[in-house]
A = this chain, B = another copy of it.
Amino acid sequence: MIPSKINFSENFSKLPDDCSLRIVAKKNDYEIKIVKFKGEFVWHSHPDTDETFIILDGKMMMHFRDKLVELNSGEMIVIPKGVEHKPTSREGYKAILIEPEGVPNTGDLESEMTINKIEWI
């Protein structure tokens, strides 16, 4: 099966609102997702996996318990497993997320922001 390409702008334009998360591709046992977010997320960590954010647009403030990292378009961060973090964004951001299949968006925390089944776009 020869694959089709994925165009990020096209996919982002299909997202329903400012806080959306969708799967765009599978690669081995990983999922590649797009996320659009504005506001304050929740403190959480992923006990079993590192998490990768690649920022495509906007600005994200990634809070750690003892550090704050500002991420702009064209920047990436890998959050080691077990490390507590909280993304926030006043302006909003668009990012690519790379995680093993089935990783919950709020990690080990169950909150009103938890999405139990992330949909494909």
Contact = CB atoms under 8 A, between A and B. Distances in A.
A42 interface: no
A76 B1 contact: no
Contact of A76 (B25, B64, B75): B25
A111 interface: no
Interface string A1-29: 11111111100000000000000111110
A47 to B, nearest CB: 13
So how many copies of this chain end up in the complex?
Answer: 2
Interface of A: 1-9, 24-28, 30, 32, 49-52, 54, 56, 64, 66-67, 69-71, 74-81, 83, 96, 98, 100
B78 A50 contact: no
Nearest to A64: B2
B27 A74 contact: no
A3 B79 contact: yes
24 contacts: A1-B80, A2-B69, A2-B83, A3-B77, A3-B79, A3-B80, A3-B83, A5-B69, A5-B71, A5-B75, A6-B76, A7-B74, A7-B75, A8-B76, A24-B76, A25-B76, A27-B50, A27-B98, A28-B50, A28-B81, A28-B100, A32-B52, A32-B78, A98-B98
